[in-house]
A and B are shown apart, each in its own frame.
Chain A
Amino acid sequence: MAGSSLKSFIKDVRNSKTLAEERSIITKESAKIRTKLRDDHLPAEKKRKNIQKLLYLYILGEKTHFGQVESINLVASDDFADKRLGYLAAMLLLDESQDLLTLLTNVLNNDLNNHSNKYVVSLALTALGFLSSSELARDVYPDVEHLLSHSKDPFLLKKALQCMAKLIAKDVSLLDTFSPELITGILNNHSLCSHGVLLGVIKVLQSILQSFTSYQEFLVEDEDEDGNGNGTHAKENKVAESNQEFFIRILEPIIPVIPHLFMVLQNLNAKNFEPDFDVQGICDPFLQVELLHTLSLFFQLGDELESSEILQYLNKFSDVLTQIATNTDANKSTGQTILYETTRTIFSLNLDQPLRILGVNILAKFLSGRDNNIKYVALNTLLKVVPQEPKAVQRHKKFISRCLRDFDIFIRKRALELTFAILDEANIVELVDELLHFLERTTEDDKSLILFTVERLVDVFDMYPITNEKWQLQVFFQIMKLVGRHIASDKISDILIIINNAKNSTSKRDVLVDMMKYSLDEKLSLEIPEENVCWQLASIWCIGEYVDILLESQDAALINQRSLTDYLCRCNTRYNEDNRLINYTLTAALKLSAKIEDTKCLEDLRQLIVRHTRDPDLMLQTKSVQYELIFRQPKAVKRAILETMPNFEKPHKHEKSSSSKPVKPRNNQPKESNLLFDLLQNDNGSKTSGEKKQPSSIPQSDLLADLFKGTPSTDRTSSRSSADARGIGLLSQSASETVQLPTQSVKIHDSDSLQVFTHLLSCGNGSSQLEMYFKALQPIEEIQSFCAVPKTQKLTMGQLHPQNSLQTDDVCKQSLKITGTGKLKLRVKVNFNKNGNPVNQQFDYKFDGSL
Chain B
Amino acid sequence: MSHGLLVSADNIDFMIHGLFSYELFGQTVWITTSHVCILIVMLSLILFAIAANRKLAHATDVPDNFQNVIELMVEFLDSIVKGAMGGSAKRFSNYISTIFLFIFFSNISGLFGLRPPTADYGTTFALGVITFCLIHFNQFKYQSLKEIWVDMCSPLPPWLPIWFPINLISEIAVPISLSLRLFANVLSGTVMMALVYGLLSAIAYVWPSVLHIYFDLFSGGIQTYVFTMLTMTYIKNVIGDRDEVPAEAK
Q: Do A and B come from one complex?
A: no
List residues of A whose CB falls within 8 A of some B CB: none
